[in-house]
Amino acid sequence: MTVSIRPEVPTRLIERHSTIADFVRLLDSWGFNAGETRISVWTILVVIVIVTGLILAARMANRFVVRALTRMTRLGTAQSSLVEKLASIAIWAVAFFVGIDLLGVNLTALTVFSGAFGLAIGFGLQKTFGNLIAGIILLMDRSIKPGDVIAVGDGNGGTFGQVKKIGIRAVSVTTRDQKEYLIPNENLMVNQVENWSYSSKNVRIQVPVGISYGSDIELAESLMLQAAREAKRILNKPAPVVWLAGFGDNSVDFIIQCWINDPEDGLGNVRSDVLKRLWHLFAENGIGLPFPQRDINLQDSAAFRALLDAMKARKS
């Protein structure tokens, strides 16, 4: 006699499975059919869970790529940004097609609308794709890269700022007064851009100085060079030089030419440092500063002589 022993399924597991199945059937019953597609509360929840999971997975993958790139010291800033942007596009493309596959969307059903969809992409997202391609080109040719100092424009005239990030749509440029400009990538491709640190970060600064007539110009010139050399941010090579610019109405005009290699820290503070040092040096060495002077010539006439005689008569 053969005795077979069948393991019994726990009652709780059967009840739990039955409860979950009943709950799913209940959610699926709240809906309607659109052709061959069933739209219900259950299908909506499934779509939300899949889309949310793919978005979170794509973001985590992007963060992993960013952390991996920060550890790769061989890559420059522009190369890291380019790899990060291309990896982000690939990750989101994979997430999109995986979502299509998980949701069971039949792409052949969209062939009827492919023409209209292509036109919508061509006209509606033309600028977006143009800025995307322009950003990739900027990173590839390295004409503008994060950390560069470029000249930008605002309502009050030209100013300069440092490139913080080259994004998918725009380049982020931060000025010295902490104003952040978002310049479309296409604008930097088609317009003229003044890059202060493209091939070299050395930037020349001109500091105009005037002294009064009668001052020792050789001594004044040596004091200007001393003030420039003692300034903190001014480079020793190339060395500062002083040029005699001309003879003005009230002053002898000079220009101090000096160089810095950190333009992102500003230019006005360098001029201020040089002029403050020069103020004390001029005061210690008797170099006069100019002030407006005017000569008044009075015409020799009978009326003027009569006025002088009247003034003399009153004094007497």
Would you state the pLDDT for residue 222?
Answer: 93
Three-state SS string across 54-75, please?
Answer: HHHHHHHHHHHHHHHHHHCCCC
Would you state the pLDDT for residue 191?
Answer: 81
Would you state the pLDDT for residue 206?
Answer: 92
Q: Per the structure block, which two tokens stand in for 241?
A: 């030089």
CB 185 within 8 A of CB 138: yes
Residues 185 and 209 in one domain: no
CB 212 within 8 A of CB 290: yes
Residue 246 contacts by C-beta under 8 Å, 6 or more apart in sequence?
253
Taking phi over 0 as left and psi of -120 to 50 as alpha, with beta for the rest, 266 belongs to: left
Q: Per the structure block, which two tokens stand in for 242?
A: 């002083």
Comparison of pLDDT for 308 and 277, the residue scoring more: 277
CB 141 within 8 A of CB 83: no
Residues 23 and 86 in one domain: yes
CB atoms within 10 A of CB 16: 11
**pLDDT of 98 higher than 70:** yes
Would you state the pLDDT for residue 2?
Answer: 43
Q: How far apart are CA 93 and CA 96, in angstroms?
A: 5
Comparison of pLDDT for 287 and 192, the residue scoring more: 287
Would you state the pLDDT for residue 244?
Answer: 93
CATH number, domain of 155, equals: 2.30.30.60
Comparison of pLDDT for 211 and 302, the residue scoring more: 211
Using pLDDT thresholds of 50, 70 and 90, give the confidence band for residue 314: confident
CA dihedral 189, 195, 200, 203 (to 10 degrees): 170
In a domain, 70, yes or no: yes
Residues 178 and 223 in one domain: no
Domain containing residue 24: 14-103
Average pLDDT over residues 78-100: 76
Mean pLDDT of the chain: 77
Burial 126-142 (b: 16+ CB within 10 A, else e): eeeeebbebbbebbeee
Q: Per the structure block, which two tokens stand in for 166?
A: 């080259």
Comparison of pLDDT for 297 and 66, the residue scoring more: 66
In a domain, 297, yes or no: no
In a domain, 244, yes or no: yes
In a domain, 296, yes or no: no
- Percent pLDDT > 90 in the chain is 18
Comparison of pLDDT for 114 and 103, the residue scoring more: 103
Q: What is the tens place of the pLDDT at every residue in 252-285?
A: 999 999 999 888 888 888 999 999 999 999 999 9
Position 60, amino acid: M
Tally the domains of the chain.
3
Would you state the pLDDT for residue 61?
Answer: 84
Comparison of pLDDT for 145 and 76, the residue scoring more: 145
